[in-house]
Amino acid sequence: MSSNINLIDSFQEFKDFKNIDRPTVITVLEEVFRSMIRKRFGTDENVDVIVNPDNGDLEIWRTRVVMEDGFSEDDDLEIELAEAHQHDPDLEVGDDFIEQITLESFGRRAILAARQTLVSKILELEKDEVFKKYKDREGELVIGEVYQIWKKEILVLDEDGNELILPKTEQIPADYFKKGDSIRAVVSKVDMMNSNPKIIISRTAPEFLQRLFELEVPEIFDGLIMIRKIVREPGERAKVAVESYDDRIDPVGACVGMKGSRIHGIVRELRNENIDVINFTSNHSLYITRALSPARISSIKIDEDHKTAAVYLKPDQVSLAIGRGGHNIKLAGKLSGYEIDVYRENDEIEEDVDIEEFADEIDSWIIDELKRVGLDTAKSVLSLTQEELVRRTDLEEDTVQEIVRILQAEFE
């Protein structure tokens, strides 16, 4: 009787498995038992397997045709009359002889093998179900609990105990978590690695910011406001282009909320990432102007063929347009799809010299560094103090002094 209990205990262990529905479990159980029957009797065509999904009770019924004595050709499908009469004297030739097969009759070794097969199949199904579940949820918001922290990634468990991986590269630079913390992220990528689902989540993806807006702004969730595009430098700055399908709704105001009430929660979640919400427009010039917010642009010249834009600003607006570390101008370019060059508004602008003209005196990597922070001309570099140039670029003070000397000589 102990062998029977072992297998039923196995059923009780898995019948309510978190990601597998009960009919699927019953099907797996039946297949395991039928495999045992085929090994013992050679066929399962004449066998009915009945599993009670509530308590795990199992019944196996085998049907054989009653034959005249000496005429049975297959004992697995037929039974001779004399043997049948030992169980039921009323049976006649041609009748069905139905008998119940007990688990004990298979032997302990077969039952242990069946239990192992059952465990293996259920675990395999569980992995498949987890993979399908999260594959369908790519881009969706998930909430989990930090379970273990490693140098390059964090292990997060969802409400069902499924393992989610948050790599260091998908964390906001200022993120800090400890075991037991609740964490929000989006499902970034789902793969099968050695038959195990690997679920990567992200807090740096634009979709994460979009899902947060959908939570905080009912008009976005209801479809009255559409997010047209999001670009991010995680932890530093983000720009979100929104459009309203209802003329009565100000999309920017709705996203920011009264006194910033809606956007403050998002900013806190993103570790104080600056978020610029702008009105989307198909007018490219206006769109670029808005994308460079908070800088105020004096004029703009667009080259549609080469997807470039020359933006002219007053000197006090240049640093705002470029932004700390060049993030503002970089994100504006990504948002608009144009390569943006910033110029200072100057009556003598035509007398300025492109920084590339000094390639014979200044190393190319230094020129690239200056251009990275929006300093494309000699005068744009000279308009800043040496301290400001050191702060904005990754250049040494001695290098900056030499650059300034070379550029000043051009205008002497």
- Residue 150 per-residue DSSP state: -
DSSP 42-96: S--TTEEEEE-TTT--EEEEEEEEEE-TT--S-TTTEEEHHHHHTT-TT--TT-E
Per-residue confidence at 264, pLDDT binned at 50, 70, 90? very high
Q: Span 37-48, mean pLDDT?
A: 86
Per-residue pLDDT tens over the stretch 281-310: 999 999 999 999 999 998 999 999 999 999
Task: Give the pLDDT score at 145.
Answer: 97
pLDDT of residue 349 exceeding 50: no
Let me know: does 122 contact 131? Beta carbons within 8 Å.
no
Q: Span 398-411, mean pLDDT?
A: 88
Close Cβ partners of 356 (under 8 Å, ≥ 6 residues apart): 367
Per-residue confidence at 15, pLDDT binned at 50, 70, 90? very low
Q: Which fold has domain 220-344?
A: GMP Synthetase; Chain A, domain 3 (3.30.300)
Q: Span 95-122, mean pLDDT?
A: 83
Burial class (CB in 10 A: 0-12, 13-18, 19+), 343: buried
Per-residue confidence at 6, pLDDT binned at 50, 70, 90? very low
Per-residue pLDDT tens over the stretch 57-99: 778 898 989 898 888 788 888 888 988 898 888 888 889 999 8
Q: Report the mean per-residue pLDDT for the chain.
A: 87
Q: Which fold has domain 7-128?
A: N Utilization Substance Protein A; Chain:P; domain 4 (3.30.1480)
List the chain domain ranges: 7-128, 146-204, 220-344, 355-410
Task: Give the pLDDT score at 166.
Answer: 97
What SS3 state is found at 172? coil
pLDDT of residue 348 exceeding 80: no
pLDDT of residue 347 exceeding 60: no
Close Cβ partners of 368 (under 8 Å, ≥ 6 residues apart): none
Cis omega before residue 315 (within 30°)? no
Least confident of 166-175, 235-244, 341-350: 341-350
pLDDT of residue 235 exceeding 50: yes
CATH architecture assigned to 146-204: Beta Barrel (2.40)
DSSP 205-234: SHHHHHHHHHHH-HHHHTTSEEEEEEEEET
Per-residue confidence at 172, pLDDT binned at 50, 70, 90? very high
pLDDT of residue 204 exceeding 90: yes
Let me know: does 143 contact 182? Beta carbons within 8 Å.
yes
The Cα 290–Cα 336 span in angstroms is 10
Least confident of 49-63, 113-127, 242-256: 49-63
Q: Span 215-228, mean pLDDT?
A: 94
Per-residue confidence at 20, pLDDT binned at 50, 70, 90? low
Per-residue pLDDT tens over the stretch 377-399: 888 888 888 888 888 887 889 99
pLDDT of residue 4 exceeding 50: no
